[in-house]
Every structure is written in structure tokens, then in C-alpha cells.
Structure 1
Amino acid sequence: MRAMLQVSATLEIPDDELVERFVRSSGPGGQNVNKVATAVELRFDIAASPSLPEPVRERLLGKRDRRVTDAGVLVLNAQRFRTQERNREDARERLAAFIASGLHAPAPRIATRPSRAAKQRRLNDKRERSTIKQARGRRTWD
């Protein structure tokens, strides 16, 4: 049985769709930070993933997220922790959260009109501001 990343009760991502690269981390760790590759760079190809349903894929690619490349690959960097395993878990959790955010379609907005009272309040406020600003005008010293 293949290892899977559980996103929700209905959606799993196989591990062979994830590309992990381990690099040296910045931050705390003492001399260890210069020797051990503890940071994780996790890549997931949203555009080519056969595991994602089409509507979810479109919502994820439609997000304006700087972590998604032009080719539709999500790149997550995890280096909060000192161990490779904790950074790996952190990256996988963040990937699951990102995909889960695209599972639910947003409710369509229902267009409404402002009420007559709201229009009247807006116009009254504009009139008051106008009066205040006109009072700031040049004074004539007669």
C-alpha cells in the first residue's frame, strides 16, 4: 500500500506526487545548521495532479498565491524546526491546509441595492463634509 497525504475524508494525495528536497536551514541550530540539511522544500504539481478534482484544481490555481509558480507548481519551504522530520511534517500539514482551502466553493454573492434611508444618510454626510470644507476656505478681511 502506498503512503498518502490525507487532506480530507474524501481526498488523499499519494506520496509519489510530492517532491521533497532537503536543504540547509537558516536560523537556530548552532554549528549543526552548517552541517545538516534540515529545511524542507516541498513541491506539488497542482496543474498535473491526477488526484485533484477539476473544480478544486481550478480554485487552487486561481488563487493569487506567491508560492504557486506560473507552471502551476506549489512550492512550500519549511524550516521552523531544528529537525528534518518536524520540518517535513510541517510542510505536509501546510500543503494539506492549502489544498483543503480549495475544497469548498465560495458562496455566490447576491447583489443588493442600498435602501432609501442609506442613500439619504450618505447624501447628508456628504453635505456635512462639504460644509466643513467650505468653511476652511480663504477668509476675506474686510
Structure 2
Amino acid sequence: MGSSSRIVVREMMQLSLSSPLPISWLRIRLPSLHLRPSIRCASSDSDKGNKVSSRLSHVQELLQQAEHRALSADHGPTPKITLDHVTVNFARSGGPGGQNVNKVNTKVDMRFNVKNACWLSDRVRDKIMQMEKNRINKDGELVISSTKTRTQKGNIEDALAKLQEIIDAASYVPPPPSEEQKKKIAKMAAIGEQKRLKSKKVLSDKKAFRRSKNSWD
């Protein structure tokens, strides 16, 4: 403890023997001691409860959205893509294959305009745009190439199959969560929130201990 701190403590003891310490004196002298009194608001506990409830409510909201999405989805057959929905270009294939590779255009470059595909629902189109954003050009075309076979027909079928797999994945909607799954997810969210608050409390106590230790150096 420094000399100035000793003087302040001695003044406090002398004043406490003669008369109670005035509030104004405490306000002036406490900062000189580098004391940090812990002030706890009465609403702190309620705030924690609000945080927990808000996080759990957010999880419940996500579950409700998943249930609504599953119930409102079109459960009809998955749309099928045909040659009428795409544009096909041919080019020479690279790689091994002998002299025939240099003579026949068997490589297929298939373009599917996702933005103009009105035969798909808005949800499926948006999903494809999100899934394949790295392969869709500025005109909204999804480009698929195929050199799987040495024939144009085989590569066209392969490119159409690849596009159909993308449409099937975008059209799939997970089934709504069951009551058991809802309870399990809510329980896991509550456990995670308790762990978060516990680790936050440990870190707060560690910082408070360091402050109280350094204040008397």
C-alpha cells in the first residue's frame, strides 16, 4: 500500500471514531484508493432469465419454421428436366481416346437458365441459386459439362442426370420434427445456455479477482 493510501485509511479511521463518514467524502476518497465496489442491480437476475428465455424462444421459432415449411411444401412429384429446358453445345473432348477425340465433338456443355425456369417453384429456384451460386453466371445460367462417354448422346444423358440431381436436392423438404425431437432440441439448447452462463461467470470471477488483487499493489 502506498503512502497516499495509508493517509486516506488513517483519515477514515479517525473520522469514523468522531463522526459518521459523510457521503460526499466517500465519493471523493474512494476513487483515490482505486476501490471498485461491486454494485449489483436487482434486475441482473431477471436479465439472465430473459436471455435464456429469448434463446429458447429462438430455437422454438426455428422449429416452428421448419414445421411450417414442411407442411406448406408441395408434396407432388419432383419436376423433371428435359432437353426443352436447356441449351446444348458440343466441343472436342480432351484426354486419352486416340485420334477419334480430335475428330468428333463429343463434349457437352449444357446451360440451364434457372431464373427463367418458370416451371419450377420459387422456393426450388431460390434453393438452386443458393446451392450452385459458384457455377451460375451473371445471366442466371447453370453450366454443366460432361465428357463421361465418347458419344454425344451419352454425355447429354449424363449432363441431364446431373441437373436432375440438383433439382431433386433443391426440391427435397425434410419432414416436420416430431414432439420427441422438439423436446430433445429444447433440452440441448437449455443445457448449452447453462454451460455458456457458467463459463461466463467463471471468467467474470477471474477478472474480478485480478482487479481486486491489483488494486492494492
Query: Aligning the two structures, in what range does the TM-score lie when normalised by the shorter sequence?
Result: 0.5 to 0.7
Superposition pairs for residues 21-60 of structure 1, below 5 Å? 21-60=89-128
| Contact kept? 2:146, 2:155, Cα under 8 Å | yes
- Of Structure 1 and Structure 2, which has the larger fraction of its residues in helix? 2
Task: Tell me the residue number matched to 2:172.
Answer: 104
Dislocated runs of 4+, deviation >6 Å: none
Residue 65 of structure 1 and its aligned partner are, at CA, apart by 3.8
Percent identity of equivalent pairs: 36
Provide TM-score, normalisation by structure 2: 0.46
Task: Tell me the residue number matched to 1:68.
Answer: 136
- Asked whether 1:119 is paired with 2:187, we answer no
Task: Tell me the residue number matched to 1:130.
Answer: none
- Of Structure 1 and Structure 2, which has the larger fraction of its residues in strand? 1
Gap runs ≥5 in structure 1: 1-7, 124-142
Query: AA paired with 1:119?
Result: K
Provide TM-score, normalisation by structure 1: 0.67
> What is the alpha-carbon root mean square deviation over aligned residues?
3.2
Structure showing greater Rg: 2
Query: Which string of whole-angstrom CA distances, capped at 9 and with x for unpartnered residues, describes residues 22-57 of structure 1?
Result: 110011210011000000000000001121111111
Query: Which string of whole-angstrom CA distances, capped at 9 and with x for unpartnered residues, describes residues 83-117 of structure 1?
Result: 21111110010010011111024679x6753627x
Gap runs ≥5 in structure 2: 1-75, 177-184, 200-217
Query: Which string of whole-angstrom CA distances, capped at 9 and with x for unpartnered residues, describes residues 108-139 of structure 1?
Result: 9x6753627x839x96xxxxxxxxxxxxxxxx
